Amino acid sequence: MVDIARISGVSLTTVGRVVRKNGYVSGEKRELVEKAIRDTGYIPNRVAQGLKSRKTNLIGHLTIFNSNMLYERISKAVNSAAHEVGYQVLTYTVELKDGNWENILDELIARRVDGIIITSHPYLDERVLRKVTGRNIPLVMVERTREGDHTDRIVIADYRGAFEAVRHIADRGHRRIAYVGREADHPVERMRLRGYRDALKEAGRPIDSSLISLWDTYGVEEGRRAAEELLNRDVPPTAVFMASDLFVCGFLQVCYEKRIIVPDDISLVGYDDTLSMMLSPPITSVGLELENLGREAVSLLLSRRDDWDRESREIINETYLADRGSVRSWKEV
């Protein structure tokens, strides 16, 4: 920058104004400076900028890893949204089991990120949360959230997503509709299950708890086992709603082995809409508006920075039902 100033014969300050496009600069000098920048191939040093201006244009993103790629997609959505407004994202993917995520937060704080997004992390205690907000770093939590001062949240409309999926099934005449999900130890899971129950209730279907199959974790193997369990019943369900596309993968594999055809013999609906379009047959699934989610997360972050003391907000991220015809009409005999 010193070189640029020397070459173009203006002061450091003026060069700075051209680089960061603020303040008054006459067209003439601007030309001169821009020419010098082009000629030398000068690229400003964001590290120094960050130090002096106390603004790094970096967003930290802490997320868990999961083989259905949902979080990778969220990550991508956050990235895109951030890039759109001139921010970059430092992403940390944590295995659920290893608990060193507090160190990761320290690392992000050390980098002086302008904000932190935490996606779906269940281990959140008040103390650590305050470590972030106590330093005036905006914090947004996505999917699995926790309330806190100065903490905004994005929650998925899981209840409605599940409800509509099950209504979609019930509308087509099914009565024995099974549910495959994860142990309801968290609002996310509870909401999905409740959506399922309420939709059944609304449709006047009986709730048969033996048709509810819960597992420790979302996974292909769990889907297989759920299928074995449900399909071997004396009276198997005619439709199954699964709270993750991963379950669907496993379920379909068992169907394939048993030559059970979807949707002729059984109807299926998945959740997340990450894999369902790739399966055979393609499966109807509840999807998340990920682009919105990313944009909302970033915009919550930035608006918090502009107005630290505004009250906490909770944004609902809507779902959609991607109908791929994996639910057939069913007439009870």
Binding site for DNA (CB under 7 A): 1-2, 9-14, 16-17, 19-20, 22-29, 42, 44-45, 48-49, 51-55
Cα separation, 113 vs 93, whole angstroms: 17
Contact segment (CB under 8 A) with a copy of itself among 104-112, 140-148, 176-184, 265-273 equals 104-112
Cα separation, 79 vs 116, whole angstroms: 13
Binder among 6, 20, 35, 111 for a copy of itself (CB under 8 A): 111
Radius of gyration for the alpha carbons in the chain, expressed in angstroms and rounded? 26
What is the nearest approach in angstroms of DNA to the Cβ of residue 2? 6
What is the nearest approach in angstroms of DNA to the Cβ of residue 47? 7
205-264 residues in contact with a copy of itself (CB under 8 A) are 220, 246, 249, 252-253, 255-257
Positive or negative, the CA dihedral 3, 8, 10, 15 is negative
Residue 279 touches which member of a copy of itself, DNA, none, C-beta under 5-8 Å by kind:
a copy of itself
What is the nearest approach in angstroms of a copy of itself to the Cβ of residue 43? 5
CB within 8 Å of 331: residues ≥ 6 apart: 173
Contact segment (CB under 8 A) with a copy of itself among 91-99, 114-122, 285-293, 297-305 equals 91-99
User: What is 150-183 written as a DSSP string?
Assistant: TEEEEEE-HHHHHHHHHHHHHHTT---EEEEEE-
Contact segment (CB under 8 A) with a copy of itself among 84-92, 115-123, 230-238, 291-299 equals 84-92
Contact segment (CB under 8 A) with a copy of itself among 71-79, 171-179, 265-273, 314-322 equals 71-79
Give whole-number Cα distances, 174 to 10, 26, 158, 308, in Å.
77, 73, 22, 51
Three-state DSSP at 210 gives helix
Cα separation, 314 vs 311, whole angstroms: 10
Residue 14 touches which member of DNA, a copy of itself, none, C-beta under 5-8 Å by kind:
DNA
Instruction: Rank residues 207 and 261 by Cβ distance to a copy of itself and give the closer one.
Output: 261
Chain Cα centroid distance, residue 225: 27
The vertex-48 CA angle with 47 and 52, nearest 5°, equals 120
Residues lying near a copy of itself in the complex (CB under 8 A) are found at 41, 43-48, 50-51, 56, 65, 69, 72, 76, 79-80, 83, 88-93, 106-107, 109-112, 131, 220, 246, 249, 252-253, 255-257, 275, 277-282
